[in-house]
Amino acid sequence: MKKNIDHTDPAKDMNPARGNGGETHQRADEDGKVLTTQQGVAISDNQNSLKAGARGPTLLEDFVMREKINHFDHERIPERIVHARGSAAHGYFELTESLEEYTTAKILTETGKQTPLFTRFSTVAGNKGSKDTPRDVRGFSVKIYTEEGNWDIVGNNMPIFFIQDAIKFPDLIHAVKPEPDRGFPQAASAHDTFWDFVSLSPETMHNLIWLMSDRALPRSFSMMEGFGIHSYRLLDKDGKSTFVRFHWKPVAGVQSLIWDEAVKISGADPDYNRRDMYEAIDNGKYFEWEFGVQLFTEEEANEFPFDHLDATKLIPEEMVPVKIIGKMVLNRNPDNFFAETEQVAFCPSHLPPGIDFSNDPLLQGRLFSYLDTQLKRLGSPNFAQIPINAPKCPFANNQQDGHMQMQVPKTRVLYEPQSLDLDRPRESVKKGFESFHEKLDDGVKGRIRAESFADHYSQPRMFYRSQTPAEQAHIATAYVFELGKVDTPHVRTRMLGHLLHIDEDLANRVATALGMELPEPADAAAPVQDMATSEPLQTIGRTPKSLKGRLVGILVAKGSKHSEIKKFEDAINAQGGMVKIVAPSKEVELDDGTRIQADERVAGAPSVFFDAIVSIIMPDQAKKLAKDSSTLDWFTDAYVHCKAIAYCGATEEFILSKLPVEKDSFVTPLADLDAFIENAKSRLWEREPKVRDLA
């Protein structure tokens, strides 16, 4: 809440821009802040082009205008083919427990040191200007500027991927992107081509069920897990290998939106997650994750009932616990979106010595694709020199020339071996990157898929059966929504055939809601196993009860009680929560005469923006607001989205009494501040079946 609003316009003394009949306009002062061309030539007039006479044509001679427009015309670069929409922040990585026993990588052995990093979160399917809240996987890419070179962990917020072999990636993406003939739907998997492809590729079933789950609708980037997905190797000083999978565990816990909220947020604020991160970091509420590893040997891997080189398989934490060894804190917003967030170039092939790849065929294909795409997107093999991509440790190579070479190597000698300049950097057996000396069996060369990759249903079954009833209902409802958008009957039928292998009850729920008959189960390439359920796969119920990262909307209007507002603000802030003041007008006078500036107008800030709401209004205002549909939706939506509501007497009498809002344990009077604060830390899921028709 901004009090004592200052209406002084800092530009008030400036003269209007010249152009209206030749008035002079504000020129730069003499302190050196002069606008110049790229060549450093000071510009005298940035408002008018050079003309032959006041009403005559513009002259080609006008290098100021030509340079300005020429640069503008070239401002766009190709957006990423996938993960085009993203937001990022700076921060640091700190190791708390050394993995000395397993690796030589300093980033995993030197504890207590803060190493800078840059993390970008993204949606996959939508274009750069699409919304933040589609049903989609989220990218989770971390670039750690280690003292032994950059390490990029290019992962997702789900621990598995749709396909097992990189050669299928272009097909997967063509299927989910807008259909090529019509150019829609944007940022959506709910269409025929996607479900046609996935229903013909049973290996997608595991990632698909995650996509249908609440994980695909993160409430905040700070409330998502991150996964490196593939198995990598750690190499010790003797070259001994241990397999590893990387995990980021959000301190705020995993929290998600409800689909109906996500849909409404798309319209009201397409930048919802981006804004949330920017504002939180700006307010000193940093985003934090624990860093964990699952470590296992080749022999242990041989005992898993699945192949860990298959990226459609997760390793249950009960089988290999996640050992927490460090943390990531995001504490600084980028200074410039394009220079940093847009130009950052992640490549899974960026690894420091002591870490190595596994033979996962999806990972192997990625090692080619990312470098290739950066050349297209950033336009030059010198993209590594862009500040956000450059290592922060010393680096030296013999690469020369190319578009936009920024370095000026001062030497005759850009080759090796050489004997002309003995000070030039050379390869180092001691420090250099070594690949694992893997003994390979003599297989045959061929386009082969390992037999051990054949089981496509056991893990989606484990995932579904590990969920709480509320989460299972969300999953079933999501399948119904998505398949309800599929017009080709045989595609829907084919999907039901797969669901029958995952869980009969799930298949039944989806078929019933779609009004379809269940078909025969799909052909399964391997017997389906009943794996033990795994609690860490749940989200609801595992979220820490905390206000940290959560936002409360307080509705006020003319004459609202200032002391009451402050009481709520203080209580919420004290627990690490954030508050936004919402009012019918932008500026409001409170009961004690204080004029405040509301953060949002109620018509522009539906309650889907908030995790809980409070209403502190006087009767005359409540009567007025009771006629305003956006105010009525404010309360109804908060209720149907299972949120905590604190109401004053006037709200109860004139607004809530008109609405289908039951006074359950999460709908409490203002006087019950403590109950509200507790409720605001979570949702009342038991309310959901009363307000929503779930499959």
145 three-state secondary structure: strand
Under 8 Å CB-to-CB from 299, ≥6 apart: which residues?
none
Question: In the complex with ligand HDD, which residue's Cβ is closer, 86 or 334?
Answer: 86
Give the largest CA-CA distance in the chain. Answer: 90
Q: Does residue 171 contact residue 200 with C-beta atoms inside 8 Å?
A: no
Q: Does residue 95 contact residue 110 with C-beta atoms inside 8 Å?
A: yes
Cα–Cα dist 78/341, whole Å? 14
Q: Which helix (H) or strand (E) covers residue 95, if one does?
A: strand 86-95
Question: In the complex with ligand HDD, which residue's Cβ is closer, 372 or 416?
Answer: 372
193 C-beta neighbours (distance < 10 Å), count: 19
Residue 537: CB minimum distance to ligand HDD, A:
18
Residue 193: name the closest of 209, 180, 206 by CA. Answer: 180
Residue 301: CB minimum distance to ligand HDD, A:
18
Judged by the rule CB under 6 A, the positions of this chain that interact with ligand HDD are 80-83, 86, 120, 122, 139, 141, 154-156, 161, 166, 169, 229, 311, 344, 346, 362, 365-366, 369-370, 373
Helix axes 504-514, 469-484, angle to 10 degrees: 40
Q: Which residue has the tokens 């509705």?
A: 555
Structural tokens at position 545: 């009860």
Question: In the complex with ligand HDD, which residue's Cβ is closer, 92 or 370?
Answer: 370
386 C-beta neighbours (distance < 10 Å), count: 18
Residue 74: CB minimum distance to ligand HDD, A:
21
Q: Does residue 402 contact residue 381 with C-beta atoms inside 8 Å?
A: yes
Structural tokens at position 250: 């959000």
Looking only at the bridges linking them, the beta strands covering 667-669 and 149-156 are unpaired
Cα–Cα dist 324/305, whole Å? 25
Residue 536: CB minimum distance to ligand HDD, A:
19
Question: In the complex with ligand HDD, which residue's Cβ is closer, 170 or 425?
Answer: 170
Q: Does residue 117 contact residue 225 with C-beta atoms inside 8 Å?
A: no
Closest residue to ligand HDD, judged by C-beta, is: 139
Residue 346: CB minimum distance to ligand HDD, A:
4
Q: Which helix (H) or strand (E) covers residue 303, if one does?
A: helix 298-303
Cα–Cα dist 265/267, whole Å? 5
Question: In the complex with ligand HDD, which residue's Cβ is closer, 120 or 494?
Answer: 120
Under 8 Å CB-to-CB from 356, ≥6 apart: which residues?
232, 233, 234, 235, 241, 434, 435, 436
Question: In the complex with ligand HDD, which residue's Cβ is closer, 139 or 202?
Answer: 139
Q: Which residue has the tokens 């996509």?
A: 211
Residue 205: CB minimum distance to ligand HDD, A:
16
Question: In the complex with ligand HDD, which residue's Cβ is closer, 119 or 256?
Answer: 119
List alpha helices for 547-648, DSSP H. 562-574, 619-625, 629-640
Question: In the complex with ligand HDD, which residue's Cβ is closer, 311 or 590?
Answer: 311
Residue 348: CB minimum distance to ligand HDD, A:
8
Residue 84: CB minimum distance to ligand HDD, A:
8
Q: Which residue has the tokens 């019950």?
A: 672
Active site residues: 83, 156
